[in-house]
Chains A and B, each alone.
Chain A
Amino acid sequence: MATRKKVLLKVIILGDSSVGKTSLMNQYVNKKFTNQYKATIGADFLTKEVMVDDRIVTMQIWDTAGQERFQSLGVAFYRGADCCVLVFDVTSPGSFKSLDGWRDEFLIQASPSDPDHFPFVVLGNKVDLDNRAVSTKRAQQWCQSKNGLPYFETSAKEAVNVEQAFKTIARNALAQESDVELYNEFPDQIKLDGGSTDNRSSGSDNCAC
């Protein structure tokens, strides 16, 4: 572990549309908030270097589209995730209710080796708004029922709790990383082989050179 020069932590942010995924990511990475974001199409990511317990790690934070129908794309982006952030909007009960669905979706698509202990972190965003509709208690209860997921109430707009939340995310992701490190090599290689032979055969069909 110590010899590894580079630790890349892949973090996926999921949640209903307009719960503030893009804003959270940008608040954390760029320390900026703007209300100019559009609905995310496809996927984007930002990277940030952070110190986690005296180690420098690079967080690669993936922002995804909120509409669930776009999750079919997920596989390409979810693969190799070290942590998944589930975001809901505390003013929107619907977005809270969707958390289960997002969690399941992620576990299916990313198929982590140990789904029961895969690190999720739950963020209740937009606490700066007045018309709150999901209580802290309710959210905590849900998190408790899922093996005690860490829960943070954040405001991307006012930078409330964002730093703390992502610190936990980084730490949990790092723990996950070191856990899977031993057998990390194998599944990847098998996947790669499968992919390349597949493509090679199709390649020979198409290309004469």
Chain B
Amino acid sequence: MDSNNTSKKFKEQLIKNVKKEVKQIMEEAVTRKFVHEESGSITSLCAAVEACLSQGLRRRALGLFKTSSTTALLHKMAKNFEPASIISQKVQEMENTDPNKPITLRRDSMASPRICPCILNRRGSLTWLLFNNEKSVVVSPFRRSSNLAPTQICTCTLNRRSSLTWLLFGNDNDSCATRAASVNSTLTSSITLPNVHPPPLTKKNSAGSGLGPTSITLPKYLWIRLALFEKLLAVIIDHLVQNCSKYYEKDSLVADPDYGSILSSLLVGPCALDYSRTKSHDQFWTDPPADELVQRHRISSGYHTSPPCRTPINYRRNLHATSNDDNQRQTPISAKDYVESLHQNNRVTLLYGKNNVLVLPKDVTEPMAGYLSLHQTASSLIIKWTPNQLMNCHSPGTNQNDHPEIDASDKSQYWDYAMNVNVDEIVYVHCHQQGNDNGGTIVLVAQDGVQQPPIHFPQGGHLLAFLTCLENGLLPHGQLDPPLWPQRGKGKVFPKLRRKGRSQIQDISNDLSSNTEESRDYVFQIISKARHEEFLSRGEEILDSKIWSMPSAANNMLNRVRGHLESSSTNSSTSTSSSLDPVASPLLINIQNTSKDTGDSLQILCETMKKQIISRAFYGWLAYCRHLTTVRTHLSGLVNTVIIDSSDAETGLTKEKWYSFKSDSNLVNDDTKLEIFRLTYFGGVQHDIRKEVWPFLLGHYKFGSTVEEQNAVDSHCKQEYETTMSEWMAVEAIIRQKDRETMAANIAKLSSESTSGGDAPPPTPNNSKVLSQELSNDVFEDNINFSSDEDNPPVVDDTQLEHNADFCDNPTNQTNTKKHIENIPKEIDCDKKSLSSDEGLGKDEVTEKDMTIKKNTSEDTSLYCPTSVIVTTNISQEKTVDNPNDENDKIDSKDNNKTSKLAVDENEGVGGSNHEQRSACISPASSQGGIYPVELVENFGLNVHRIDKDVQRCDRNYPYFTLENLDKLRNIICTYVWDHLEMGYMQGMCDLVAPLLVILDDETLSYSCFCLLMERMSANFPHSGGAMDTHFANMRSLVQILDSEMFELMHENGDFTHFYFCYRWFLLDFKRELLYDDVFTVWETIWAAKEMSSSHFVLFFALALVETYRDIILANHMDFTDIIKFFNEMAEHHDAKTVLSLARNLVLQLQTLIENK
């Protein structure tokens, strides 16, 4: 930055950057409730501002040598400027004492003490910052470990003069000196930092301002950030601008008379926004915005894989889990389930949390430390245990010291160790305590006798604390039996439990092995009241078998835990029965093999269990077979049977490949068709050649057609297009004239109303009648009352109405409002714009067109006998090119409602005479005219008005859509609608045309392609085919069969299995969900998929979207409104590439499943 280029261009670029970021942030603020403090746009804005401020700073004079930061500048300013000193103070506070402040990650449960929060930028890269003391910052980006030995972490010390020193520390931060390789880095070396820390920081920089030198200024943005949050940034910068001579070189940006003030005024907007970090409690009912959910998810779920990447694995697991007849209980092991270990959120309450709880998972020799937590959801209690390795995966530096052998990429195995147990399924909790203060062990035993790995609590009463929380959590629908303490709430509880347990133990097994003195073991039964009552009603037998399952479970455990004792009193129902003793002590008896009775019972029990196991296995298998059958019957129609190989196709259809296909005879061979589709399907089309390829993909050109044939197709399309266009433009001219009259009439009416003042008469019956009739939302009905000849200025009020009627020489009209006379003025100034776009069109067809119109209209007139007829003579513009102002259309209309006989002759006479009149001066071939039934005009008029409204608003922010191109868009849609008047214009068509027009950049071609696209899409629109319902139904089947957990959620939460939240997706082929570049790729893939894998690829893309966020959706228990909001907010924020590849994978999975016979 010192060797800065002070040219104007550079400054311009800097300002432009700021502008861009400001715009971004303001837009974000419009669409969201507030801007999240962690929003990437803030970082980018800060970077841009920083860049501006650094430019031309008088470092030398101010003593800010070699610094790339402006923080020092702030501190300077703080001396004599109040707002700056506020910020300066905050910055210092933050750097010194509260490292958590600028960044958020809840780490209350984190095991490693030094780890401070992470900064999450827009791409979700994580950079760990360890704030040690005053000014030293440890940057330990994730994945760091792959480059350095795990025992080393990289430290960046930012000393007073802000030069950067990079140190490689040993594990112990305090003894850093020994092995430190110190690199005193100047600015340049800080730029090279991204190479040292490859992925996250590089990404970060690119997400920032794009100005290299600001890259490592993360903490330096801090003051800008804070100033922004405190809404003081604009003031501070303004101060700088005012006092620029003091701080800046003359030729600097800030000192520039224009740029300086531009910069400060640009920032006024962002400073007016509200920035929020996280939700506070008073916002309890306000659901977090989608990006916050996604961010949280990223933070919490272990960064090594981004959520979309992980989902397929997850998903596959789900697919296979269906082979288990009980996949609901097999909670899928995924990062998501542990997200909530870190958070207490709206829906899940954290009841208990303890770190460094040891668990010995299966297949592991040594106990592992992890975070144990107890969560209360609306429906149940959940016990979770997460290995520290997962909890700390953001901080490999500290973490891997414990397990140096474990590579970061290997983390996935830990997900298998992690526990996620629903307390509903737990029947027994076995507790073992060794010694007085040696902690304790808990084993959870499920209904089916399966036991979870033992959980060992560290010493210090944690076991009891956990049990207490568990018992509290069970209330009011369940309880621990025996209860933890008989008189709850009375003093300390632990001794009581001990005493109680001890006394029972002594009662039951006083003479047993001597080590009972040392171990105090308990078995708690978890009783839900519902279950309890159920038992009572079912009677002894079931009761017994249930009770029996307890010792059997305990029996398993005995293999591990010797000298096990039980103190189990049963619930009230059993305690009344005489079997109390056998129930309480079968285990002991089993050990000693003394009691015959219980031995028999055990045998029965074993047999029961054996049966259960066998039947379970059988049902599992059966369920799997059924599942396959279901898949085959319901979903086989959705995918092609042939699986297409994806090899070498990931690169997509590149320019080279495309031209090599074309090279032979300069035409795209029919043989290469499949290969082109294959490449497109797996890799998309290179942007440059889309214009050429799309017409083929859409079927506008046939594969294998020669250039001549293609030209023929083009010219044919052009011809048709222009013919249609001139047809509707004639009608449009009428519509426009009517609009003008309507507007005049309305304004006149308004003014007459306002002049008539308060004593205006109440609406006459006539008037109200008109009102009620005008429900049809018709633009002409106003004319009925208020239109008049141009010679008569439109004066409108209730009396005028009668006058108007009199004018028509037919007083009966007044009662017959529907058949009013329409007086269309003879001379209509055609809209210049629309006509000028007509100019380029072929005039050769005019005569033919003229004839067809006449023919049509004469047919029409016979159809619409009783209604009025408008006769137009439309003069085309051949001669008027020189002088567009002369463009005139002659439109005559006569109403013939007095007599039922059509006044066609007369009208034609008028039209004809006009025609002749015109023909005298204009070439006859150029003239056109026609008779249009009022219905047609009205109908088309309605459509045109809607089209106008929507075209105006279509993608206004996308640079392609200039007025000229919007006009093209409009023409295409009008032409299509004119050809499909029965269907009419439907909102959404604009969105479908727009990408085609952007790529093809040719009106006719876009029109043709749009028609082809609409062959598939039109059925999605309401009232024109039930395709949308079919989509929804298919989605339902897909989700139900492939992700039953998700389906369950959708079903439970107010049942939104109608899938209306996918409506826009299917209606517009995801056009609104994705950014333009992604839309292109996704559309191509959809078109190619028809040939390659599935003609219902949209379904799979939709499914992939849902699955991408499934963890978030499930974790937040989203209901219909949540999910609508989530996806609406996520629009244009999806990672289309990942979703797309997931979608292809889903197709493949389904194909494999179906094929596998």
Contact = CB atoms under 8 A, between A and B. Distances in A.
A184 B472 CA distance: 32
Contacts of A6: 285
A207 interface: yes
Contacts of B1125: 44-45
Contacts of A131: 743, 747
B772 A60 contact: no
A192 B1056 CA distance: 12
B191 interface: no
A97 interface: yes
B777 A97 contact: yes
A1 to B, nearest CB: 17
A196 B1063 contact: no
| Chain B interface main SS type | helix
Interface residues of B, number: 80
A130 to B, nearest CB: 10
B287 interface: yes
Nearest to A29: B33
B750 interface: yes
Interface string A48-71: 010000000010100001110110
A97 B767 CA distance: 13
Give the most central of A39, A132, A196: most B CB within 10 Å. A39
Contacts of B753: 135, 137-138
A30 B29 CA distance: 8
A72 B32 CA distance: 28
B942 to A, nearest CB: 9
Nearest to B776: A97
Interface in A49-100: 49, 58, 60, 65-67, 69-70, 72-73, 76-77, 93-95, 97-98, 100
Contacts of A135: 749-750, 753-754
A60 B286 CA distance: 10
A69 B1022 contact: yes
B957 A36 contact: yes
A161 interface: no
Interface string B922-950: 00000000000000000000000110011
B625 to A, nearest CB: 8
Contact of A101 (B32, B775, B1058): B775
Given A69-B1023, A94-B779, A133-B746, A30 B987 contact: no
B1055 A45 contact: no
Contacts of B742: 93
Interface in A137-173: 137-138, 141-142
B953 A38 contact: yes
A67 B987 contact: yes
Contacts of A208: 622-623, 625-627, 629-630
Nearest to B1128: A44
B1064 interface: yes
Give the most central of B27, B957, B987, B1121: most A CB within 10 Å. B987
Contacts of B945: 94
Interface in B770-784: 771-772, 774-779, 781-782
A141 B758 CA distance: 12
A16 B779 CA distance: 13
A175 B1021 CA distance: 37
A42 B1022 contact: no
Interface in B745-766: 746-747, 749-750, 753-754, 760, 762-763
Contacts of A196: 1051, 1055
Contact of B987 (A8, A39, A95, A134): A39
A187 interface: no
A207 B779 CA distance: 53
Interface in B23-57: 27, 29-33
Contacts of B504: none
A100 B630 contact: no
A203 interface: yes
Given A41-B1068, A58-B285, A94-B779, A69 B1128 contact: no
A35 B957 CA distance: 10
A137 B1124 contact: no
A38 B625 CA distance: 48
Contacts of A38: 953-956, 991, 1072
A207 B746 contact: no
Contacts of A133: 743, 746-747, 750
B1040 A41 contact: no
A183 interface: no
Contacts of A49: 283, 285-286
B325 interface: yes
B317 interface: no
Given A34-B30, A67-B946, A207-B1040, A101 B956 contact: no
Contacts of B781: 97
A26 B287 CA distance: 17
Contact of B1040 (A8, A17, A69, A206): A206
Interface in B436-480: none
A16 to B, nearest CB: 7
Contacts of A26: 30-31
Contact of B1022 (A16, A35, A44, A73): A73
A128 B524 CA distance: 72
A76 B30 contact: no
A195 B285 CA distance: 27
B637 to A, nearest CB: 14
A42 B1037 contact: no
Contacts of B286: 47, 49, 58
B627 to A, nearest CB: 5
Given A72-B1022, A209-B327, A43 B1124 contact: yes
Contacts of A186: none
B262 interface: no
B6 to A, nearest CB: 36
Give the most central of A29, A36, A37: most B CB within 10 Å. A36
A178 interface: no
B391 interface: no
Nearest to A142: B771
B1044 interface: yes
Contacts of A17: 946, 949-950, 987
A110 B283 CA distance: 29
B777 A76 contact: no
A98 B777 contact: yes
Given A17-B950, A207-B630, A47 B287 contact: yes
A199 B1021 contact: no
Contacts of A93: 742, 746, 774, 782
Contacts of B155: none
B1037 A206 contact: yes
Nearest to B624: A208
A168 B1068 CA distance: 36
Interface string A1-42: 000001010000000111000000010011010111111011
Interface in B1016-1060: 1021-1023, 1037, 1040-1041, 1044, 1051, 1055, 1057-1058, 1060
B949 A32 contact: no
A102 B763 CA distance: 22
Interface string B627-669: 1011000100000000000000000000000000000000000
Contacts of B626: 208-209
A199 B1057 contact: yes
B990 interface: yes
12 contacts: A17-B987, A45-B1125, A47-B286, A49-B283, A58-B285, A69-B986, A133-B750, A206-B1037, A207-B1041, A208-B630, A209-B623, A209-B627
Given A42-B1063, A141-B762, A203-B1040, 20 more contacts: A17-B987, A26-B31, A30-B32, A32-B30, A41-B991, A42-B1067, A58-B285, A60-B1121, A73-B1022, A73-B1063, A77-B1060, A95-B777, A131-B747, A133-B750, A135-B753, A138-B753, A208-B626, A208-B627, A208-B629, A209-B322
Those 7 A-B pairs whose CB atoms lie nearest each other, nearest first: A208-B626, A133-B746, A18-B949, A42-B1064, A42-B1063, A32-B30, A97-B774
